[in-house]
Amino acid sequence: MSKRLTFADREIDRTLFDADHIHRRILELGAAISRDYEGREIHIVAVLKGSIMVVADLIRAITVPVSVDFIAISSYGPEARQSGSVRLLKDLDESIEGRHVLVVEDVIDTGLTLSYILRTLRARRPASLEIATLLDKPAHRLIDLPIRYVGFTIPDCFVVGYGLDYQQRYRNLPFLATLRGDVLA
Ligand code: PRP
């Protein structure tokens, strides 16, 4: 871990959750999801790109049958998203009609991204539609969302690592960390 920090330590403020902590929480979420979906098959819709780590680890912690698909949307700023100008960059490969869909996110902030995704998915008539997110950051929530599974609720801070980026970097860190304030200024 110290070697990985060598390239990042100029911009990293502090570790928020280390790899073991994340792993333990993912196992708990996987167990809860497996209990809730007993007897059903889950169709996971992971939102690219931030969810890559959490979806890879979460599906290994789920014991009921699982299939996985990916969706990607444009990352305009909050103002543009609020005005509805979210754009689908990559649609799902498969139909979700009649399936038990679990959307997997890395972080929910304003809720605008997921709100758009949920609208899009609901129109395709899944049998059920639930949300799992590794991080819930409610400080700037603009749209209330029925989040079923939350890994960690965090304060308003810029988090990188374990899939989350700053200008496309740091997704490869195996832990979650905050960036130094002067990096973001
Ligand atoms: C992040 C995250 C969510 C969204 C949450 O994606 O993965 O999709 O922001 O923010 P919101 O609740 O305010 O809409 P980002 O746009 O950073 O793209 P990425 O997943 O490719 O890093």
Kindly state the average pLDDT of the residues 86-112. 95
3-state secondary structure of 20: helix
Please report, for the chain, the start and end positions of each structural domain, with discontinuous segments joined by +. Answer: 19-75+86-157
Residue located via tokens 């543009």:
80
Pairing of strands 100-108, 149-153: unpaired
Beta bridge partners of 66: 42
- The ligand 1 atom at the shortest distance from the C-alpha of residue 140 is 13
Pairing of strands 176-179, 12-17: antiparallel
pLDDT for 84: 57
What are 5-21's pLDDT values in tens digits?
555 567 888 999 999 99
93 annotated active-site: no
pLDDT band at 156 (very low <50, low <70, confident <90, very high): very high
Q: Supply the Cα-derived Rg of the chain in whole angstroms.
A: 16
Residue with CA at minimum distance from ligand 1 atom 8 = 113
What are 31-83's pLDDT values in tens digits?
999 999 999 999 999 999 999 999 999 999 999 999 999 999 986 665 665 56
Nearest Cα residue to 109 out of 158, 166, 74, 170: 158
- The ligand 1 atom at the shortest distance from the C-alpha of residue 115 is 14
Show the tokens assigned to 20. Answer: 């073991």
pTM: 0.92
pLDDT for 81: 56
Cβ(100)–Cβ(42) below 8 Å:
yes
Fold of 19-75+86-157: Rossmann fold (3.40.50)
Residue 110: CB within 6 Å of ligand 1? Answer: yes
Q: Ligand 1 mean position to 102 CA, how many Å?
A: 17
Kindly state the average pLDDT of the residues 118-132. 97
Nearest Cα residue to 58 out of 96, 102, 110: 102
Looking at residue 140, the DSSP 8-state letter turns out to be G
Residue 46: CB within 6 Å of ligand 1? Answer: no
What are 58-71's pLDDT values in tens digits?
999 999 999 999 99
Q: Which of 18, 109, 144, 182 is catalytic?
A: 109
